[in-house]
Amino acid sequence: MTAIMDKFEREKLEEELKESGIEYDPKAFKPGPLIRLMLRLSPTTGFKILNKKLGIKNDAFDKAHEAFSNIKRVDIFPTAAGGRGFILVLDKKTALYFYQNGDHFIYDGFELGEYDGGDVTIFDGLK
């Protein structure tokens, strides 16, 4: 997304975050004019500058961006046997496993192989 959110989009995002139980303070995030300009012109560079200012290391994000930028297809599956987790399948060849650990999910490993396509309506029942 290269454009900065308009007021309606921002208000909708804040409402969705509140409904999800996520505390959000819009006044805590005030990027300066240089960062806002960079986010518009070059989002990747803008986020690198912003992350540096916020003390967030870019290494993990750079590696994730590099890994996912060439992925053409992502499928999502629930874990087998009714477990609380999900599987991300990348380009029908690599499965990444995530399992619930309390109030969040953790990465649990990967497998290589040939996989079927997922169900694109998997999130339709969620609020």
Pairing of strands 85-90, 74-78: antiparallel
Query: 99 CB contacts (<8 Å, ≥6 apart)?
Result: 79, 83, 84, 85, 105, 106, 108
In this predicted structure, what is the pLDDT of residue 31? 74
pLDDT band at 1 (very low <50, low <70, confident <90, very high): very low
82 phi/psi in degrees, rounded to 5: 70, 15
In this predicted structure, what is the pLDDT of residue 72? 93
Is residue 2 over pLDDT 50?
no
In this predicted structure, what is the pLDDT of residue 34? 81
pTM here is 0.56
Our CA angle for 84, 85, 88, nearest 5°, is 160
Mean of the pLDDT values across residues 65-86?
85
